[in-house]
Structure 1
């Protein structure tokens, strides 16, 4: 995935907001909450997303994926794909989708309704 494809994909989420900050990074938020970032690592696009507990542990073992600089160093479970050896485009899209869902699930029901964000769907365990 390149930066242009990343931005097109992130723009498809309800209430997704794009800002450019942090040294020309493309930053995506929903309801004011960060869900994905495309910045640079060693002169290449690097994609950062929030991860669940298991994904955080498992995916950081993959080549080209690491705990996200700054965010993970503060105890948050964010990962960064920093080179092409990481996730496939489909896997990266899946992780960005999950990041969006985790972030928007934390918004109040009222805020989600105001923004047109669907209520979270229960997972396989009913939660």
Structure 2
């Protein structure tokens, strides 16, 4: 099932430090403490429903070899992938990938900032 704007908001909005904002007129961007971890193309974009998110370095190649997933344009260097065929993947898989993207980015915040945001056992 494809992730919708409402679905992305429901999924990530309650996580500590997360903000959601529309950028570049047609992308809903999820950030933790101002750092992007996921992005959804909105219906008015050239590729509606495409979902982009950060992944672990060692998972990047394995994921981009799967059908319906490619290196994210402009963000592949930072190990981001784009799910071009979101209906291929179950909702729980997508939610788990988004949570992991959030954790990867949040882990790069300073320990002090992690404590201020109330992240895990910072």
- How has the CA–CA distance of structure 1 residues 20 and 71 changed in structure 2, closer, same or farther, with 3 Å as cutoff? same
Q: Which residue of 2 aligns with 1:53?
A: 57
Determine if contact 2:41/2:47 at 8 Å carries over to the other structure: no
- How has the CA–CA distance of structure 1 residues 22 and 119 changed in structure 2, closer, same or farther, with 3 Å as cutoff? farther
Determine if contact 1:62/1:86 at 8 Å carries over to the other structure: no
Deviation at 1:107, TM superposition (A): 0.4
- How has the CA–CA distance of structure 1 residues 86 and 79 changed in structure 2, closer, same or farther, with 3 Å as cutoff? farther
Deviation at 1:3, TM superposition (A): 2.3
Deviation at 1:42, TM superposition (A): 4.6
Q: Which residue of 1 aligns with 2:78?
A: 76
Query: Number of aligned pairs?
Result: 118
Using structure 1 for the length normalisation, give the TM-score.
Answer: 0.83
Mark the runs of 5 or more structure 1 residues left unpaired by the alignment.
121-127
Please state if 1:63 is matched with 2:90.
no
Note the aligned Cα RMSD (angstroms).
1.7
Paired residue for 2:104, among 95, 102, 105? 102
Q: Write out the 4+ residue segments of structure 1 that deviate beyond 6 Å after TM superposition.
A: none
Using structure 2 for the length normalisation, give the TM-score.
Answer: 0.87
Determine if contact 2:57/2:79 at 8 Å carries over to the other structure: yes
